[in-house]
Amino acid sequence: MIFKDEVYRGANGKESLIDLEIPKKFNGEIIIFLHGFMGFKDWGAWHLVQAHFTNEGFGFCKFNTTHNGGTIMNGIDFSDLDAFKENTYTKEIEDVKCAIDWINAKVSKWNGHLIGHSKGGAVALIAGKKLKSIASVATWAAIASIGERFPIKLQLEEWKKNGVRYIKNGRTHQELPQSIDLYNDYKKNEKAYNLRDLCLNYVKPVFIAHGEDDNAVPIENGQRLAIWTQQSLYTISNANHVFQSKHPWTAPTLPPELRKLCNKTIEFIRSLAQQ
């Protein structure tokens, strides 16, 4: 069973794109993959990550968050700048819940496992802690703090004054707007979105992985998450933020570093059945 570029309704009733594949020899476990900042479900080698998991019997779902800047007509480029401008962590957490509801309408019995990349790792940790259908959370090159990603001092005051700031996308060369609502949403939910406090009291199984050569989100972030969750950090040598993949990815196979990460994540999820 394969659903490609289907539409789900997420935060604020906004529609976005979603994929789901259930293999013939389905093991009852579905991976729900959360992309990172300025990411999307069809970035780089994510389609091969999906194939890797489904070949091992896992269902696999990946989706665009509703306010990532994509549309149902174009989920790759940032054609909806108004939506990107209004994105918040609360909206992305709501998107996870809505994606799960969408899966429930397609699959009757399943266990869910969140994999979040980069910023998506933070969303996975927050959303996964309370969602009953989620059995475990894996973070790939995740940030260890939401608050640390915001500007400080004069830059923060300028953002507050103007109500919007702009972030350049290296691929499309667009200046992408961010409303101060992103910061205000975090401050409003600062206690619930504090990853340190969240992880110190995490009761579900967690897998933390990071590339040793990550320049976008340094490995120190993974080290903190591992300490807080009392887990061993799984590090991948010679691996950058996207584990040696890129966009577009035209090779027929995964880069060795990303394949290694997939295999270790599968090993982690399968180990849960033995606990």
The single-letter code of the amino acid at 89 is Y
Cβ atoms of 144 and 195 within 8 Å: the answer is yes
pLDDT higher than threshold 90 for residue 213: yes
pLDDT at 273 (0 to 100)? 77
pLDDT by residue (tens digit) across 115-152?
A: 999 999 999 999 999 999 999 999 999 999 999 999 99
ω into 205 cis (within 30 of 0)? no
Give the pLDDT score at 275: 66
d(CA 39, CA 34): 9
Contact between 98 and 123 under an 8 Å Cβ cutoff? The reply is no
**With 80 as the cut, is the pLDDT of residue 5 above it?**
yes
CB atoms within 10 A of CB 164: 12
Residue-level pLDDT at 223: 98
Q: Is the pTM of this model over 0.75?
A: yes
Angstrom distance (rounded) from CA 94 to CA 240: 29
Closest CA to 66 of 88, 46, 44: 88
Is the model's pLDDT at 202 over the cut of 90?
A: yes
What's the pLDDT score for residue 274?
Answer: 73
Structure tokens at 203: 């009761």
Domains of the chain, earliest start first: 2-148+191-272 (3.40.50.1820)
Residues 41-49 have a mean pLDDT of: 98
Contact 214, 241 (CB under 8 A): yes
pLDDT in tens, 225-275: 999 999 999 999 999 999 999 999 999 999 999 999 999 999 999 999 776
